[in-house]
Structure 1
Amino acid sequence: MPSRRELLRGVAIGVAVTTALGAGALAWSSTLLGEYSVMAMGEGHSGDGYAGHDGHAEHGTSGADPSAASGSTGAVNVNEVDVTSLTADPERPADVRVELVARQDTVDVPGGRAIEGYTVNGTSPGPELRARQGDLVEVTFVNESVTDGATLHWHGIDVPNAADGVAGITQDAVPVGGRHVYRFEATDAGTYWYHSHQVSHEQVEGGLLGAIVIEPASPTDAAADLEATALLHVYGGQHTLNGRVSDEHVDAAPGATVRVRVINTDQGTAAVWSAAPFRVLATDGHDVNEPTDVDGQRLLIPAGGRADVAVQAPPEGDAVRLHVGGARSILIGDPEASAPPTPQPAETLDLLAYGTPTPLSFDPASADRSFDYVIARRFGLIDGRPGNFWTINGRMFPDVPMFHVREGDVVVMRIVNDSGDVHPMHLHGHHVVVLSRDGDAASGSPWWVDSLDLHPGESYEIAFVADNPGIWSDHCHTLAHAVDGLVAHLMYEGVSTPFTINGAAGNRPE
């Protein structure tokens, strides 16, 4: 039975929506979606003329004509490129070949209770994939029994657009009995993960996911003696480490360095800390320049984010406990030893000032495009559902900004959180460097991310080079927020998609 608070909230929403409709503030035509193409969504933002201006984008309107969204000027491009043609070299033989089979299944959770969810090759998480930097990876994805269809998105890997795995944008969802082949070059060494991007708020939470590690082509100074993966996921309220409701132990000789690859696949922020000093070697697959010891602080990892941390094994007969995600931990050292839990530090490591600065390969001060991405909330309707939905630059889905760029552009974006929730923002196909937070300039190692937490009231300025043509989602990775409209897209001039959402193919990316 609904609580009094829920009933009052329902009444408030109904009154707000009725009032707004009566005032003509909400248009049913824009909220009853039916079948649609992202090409026809929202308002086109060109972001032209950043250099020498006040940093705010100039706006053009794409309207409801899909052709108008194909370029930053709104003009039809006769040399339009289909997303399906944006692939890895089709003539190059694969260095790594894998088949992954998705099933709608009972998920065994060792140490806990089984749940109804999804498996990949019979388990959740699915198998950890490994490749070496420069390898051509070929994954054949088979949907054996996922009734809503499924895809694979390579979270954090800057794949060609055709391999991005977003239903309704870069492919159709793979139906039961179907298969789809993903091909991409493992360009950047680092820690990543894969997951479905079809009904993602259900399928990711239900376990259709796994880890992927790209090893460096040659050893680096940050190479460790040992390494371990720490994939965090909550199955039906059960906090797991690599799919198990238990801690893990890494047998490491005294003084050995262990690289722990922490992958946060959950919907909220994960904390990492230890009583012993540790170092942050990488964030979201990009190395930190000259990391230093972190002592008495916690590292926070956004939903979807990853961090590689280095822990040194203590003297013989001892172990050190690395807390990962709050509920789970990894003991490193003598396999017979233990170490007591330690309270989570109140102080958070500031990655904006961590490590040593090093020059970027491009100049954000000479950006070609500048965009605002302002997140807020208001009452309204999405696809006929009344609710308190997210807005982007004051607009509600699907009438949200489409950020138009040309290949080669240097792009600066100011992301502002004017809501009361934390939003882990994830841009597909690109890594961004953080320039500032709340006006304070970055002073440490370049902080490269593909998943960035925005706390209430915060604003970040980020930059990237538009070097991966396609149509790319830019959304909140608290996936329930994406369902409620916290999704925009980065659209390259001259690129189009033949795929649609909510049509016969059943595509529902969020």
Structure 2
Amino acid sequence: MSGRVIAVAAAAVVLGPLIWLWQASLLPSAYSVMDRGHAGHGGPTRSVTSLIADPDRRADVLVTLTAREQRFRLPSGRPVDGYTLNGRSPGPVIRAAAGQLVQVRLINESVPDGVTLHWHGVDVPNAADGVAGVTQDAVRPGQEFTYRFVAGRAGTFWYHSHQMSHEQVRRGLLGALVVSEPRPPTGVADVVALTHVYGGVRTLNGYEGEVRAEAPPGGRTRVRVINTDNGEMPVWVAGAPYRLLGVDGTELNGPAQVWDARVLVTAGGRADLEVVMPEDGSPVRIEIGGSAAVVLGSGSSTTWATPPPAQALDLLSYGKRTPVSFDPDRPDRRFPYEIGRRPGFLDGVPGMWWTINGHLYPDIPAFIVAEGDVVRMRIANRSGEAHPMHLHGHHALVLSRNGVPATGSPWWVDSLDVGDGDIYEIAFVAGNPGIWMDHCHQLVHATEGLVAHLMYEGVTTPFHAGGEAGNEPE
């Protein structure tokens, strides 16, 4: 056998498997997430389009949001090339009371790749989840789409595009959603602190540096911190103690005063802090990420930035334990969600990609559940980086971290930061039928394959990723 023949044979042995892996990784021009795991099981089926709020009920809150691609200015005057809602970014704060039906008309005036709105942390009916290619088609320029959902619980939430979200969220398609109690407590000031980084500059509600808010001496103020960026963010208070009232739109039970500890707010997560102002009128400073702050007070007193406390508040033991409405120790379904990383091909591109249960996207089976199931999930991260994991349509109860059980207030999350080497046990009741994303909210990681789906038996979708609609949810 000639040397050339031997060389060709050797090359085929080496390159053949690589070519097969490359070809197997290529995504079709249009595909359904149903291909990842069929949830029909031969019984009656429902389309995600049928999972809607009562169509005969009149809306209590009506909002129109017009999305544009444009150059805009932050209140500081800094120009930003990005996207706006009603001519601004962040978009308008949407406010509702618990139990009200919210109706939002989204008009795409000029976002060329299309746009959707996802209601982050709100357990909306599936048709209103706003995920391009899963629950709807992206809204193209000149088109519109209407979202309807009941704001079922009081809390702090936000909204953002879920079409090309890694780009559109970063460049401005987002805003705050605040759901109050039907009868809010009197005498409590309420401050929204939505943080977003534009071009490397951290802002609060679009403002750079300090944001001041009126707060009378001796009065209580609720500060709603919303982290819209891709990484975990520390928050701490200087000038007074605080209580952490809520996380991810759920109140904590029996929160105690905290004097010298920082709160870590997950990417996509929210933290509601209550501050009681000093009787002498001294200002209180809430540090947001170390480069922005909310300053509470009734005057113009000067405040100075303070370093973060060494200790982080541990939500496994914070607050008082109280029973929950289901038994997480008797689950109907158990799922591993093991996050790793390895070389391979993703849609034909070679690289180091994230894996779920050892598989590269799209070879990731769905988590199949039936309505009413108690679901227990073990999230283990062995990937080398932290991942803020976000489950759509549900809130999960944190049971343990690295084998240490939760002993404080029930800690409910929709966004959970899972550090490298960490193992979390979580549980939830499958009480909201649909097809739901369960993905990393470091949104670039999601484009790199860190995406799974929770699918209910008997639920299907007519929508496809890619295709003529150009759906790109991440």
User: Relative to 1, partners in 2 of residues 1:245 and 1:408: Cα closer, same or farther, differing over 3 Å?
Assistant: same
Q: In structure 1, what is the Cα distance between the partners aligned to 2:187 and 2:257?
A: 15
Question: 1:420 Cα shift?
Answer: 1.1
Report the equivalent of 1:483: 447
Q: Which amino acid aligns with 1:40?
A: D
Correspondent of 1:32 among 13, 20, 27:
27
Check the 8 A contact 1:141/1:180 in 2, yes or no.
yes
Report the equivalent of 1:259: 222
Report the equivalent of 1:427: 391
- 1:311-460 paired onto structure 2 within 5 Å: 311-460=275-424
Q: Report the TM-score, using the length of structure 2 for normalisation.
A: 0.95
Report the equivalent of 1:503: 467
1:96 aligns with 2:65: no
Where 1:401 maps in the other structure, the secondary structure is coil
Alignment length (residue pairs): 461
Q: In structure 1, what is the Cα distance between the partners aligned to 2:270 and 2:279?
A: 29
Question: 1:224 Cα shift?
Answer: 6.0
Q: In structure 1, what is the Cα distance between the partners aligned to 2:226 and 2:18?
A: 47
- 1:109-258 paired onto structure 2 within 5 Å: 109-111=74-76, 113-219=78-184, 225-258=188-221
Q: In structure 2, what is the Cα distance between the partners aligned to 1:411 and 1:21?
A: 42
1:116-157: CA deviation from partner (whole Å, max 9, x where unpaired): 100000000000000011101111000000000000000000
Report the equivalent of 1:7: none
1:384-443: CA deviation from partner (whole Å, max 9, x where unpaired): 111111000000000013000000000000001101111000000000010000010000
Question: 1:105 Cα shift?
Answer: 1.0
Question: 1:76 Cα shift?
Answer: 2.8
Check the 8 A contact 1:240/1:246 in 2, yes or no.
yes
Question: 1:245 Cα shift?
Answer: 1.1
Question: 1:359 Cα shift?
Answer: 0.1
Question: 1:20 Cα shift?
Answer: 8.1
Check the 8 A contact 1:393/1:401 in 2, yes or no.
no
Q: Which amino acid aligns with 2:190?
A: E
Question: 1:24 Cα shift?
Answer: 7.2
Q: In structure 2, what is the Cα distance between the partners aligned to 1:29 and 1:503?
A: 19
Q: In structure 2, what is the Cα distance between the partners aligned to 1:341 and 1:29?
A: 53
1:461 aligns with 2:425: yes
Unaligned runs of 5+ in 2: 1-12
Q: CA RMSD in A?
A: 1.5
Q: In structure 2, what is the Cα distance between the partners aligned to 1:427 and 1:315?
A: 42
Where 1:172 maps in the other structure, the secondary structure is coil
Where 1:26 maps in the other structure, the secondary structure is helix
Where 2:222 maps in the other structure, the secondary structure is strand
Report the equivalent of 1:70: 39
Unaligned runs of 5+ in 1: 1-17, 45-68
Where 2:31 maps in the other structure, the secondary structure is coil
Q: In structure 1, what is the Cα distance between the partners aligned to 2:56 and 2:258?
A: 46
Q: Report the TM-score, using the length of structure 1 for normalisation.
A: 0.88
1:474 aligns with 2:443: no
Report the equivalent of 1:22: 17
Q: In structure 1, what is the Cα distance between the partners aligned to 2:216 and 2:179?
A: 25
Q: In structure 1, what is the Cα distance between the partners aligned to 2:154 and 2:473?
A: 27
Q: In structure 1, what is the Cα distance between the partners aligned to 2:410 and 2:381?
A: 22
Q: In structure 2, what is the Cα distance between the partners aligned to 1:299 and 1:482?
A: 25
Q: In structure 2, what is the Cα distance between the partners aligned to 1:453 and 1:33?
A: 32
Q: In structure 2, what is the Cα distance between the partners aligned to 1:167 and 1:226?
A: 37
1:228-275: CA deviation from partner (whole Å, max 9, x where unpaired): 000000001111010111311122111111100000001111111023
Q: Which amino acid aligns with 2:319?
A: G
Check the 8 A contact 1:20/1:380 in 2, yes or no.
no
1:333-376: CA deviation from partner (whole Å, max 9, x where unpaired): 23221222211112111001100000010001111000000000
1:58-87: CA deviation from partner (whole Å, max 9, x where unpaired): xxxxxxxxxxx024xxx333x110000000
Where 1:435 maps in the other structure, the secondary structure is strand
Check the 8 A contact 2:465/2:471 in 1, yes or no.
yes
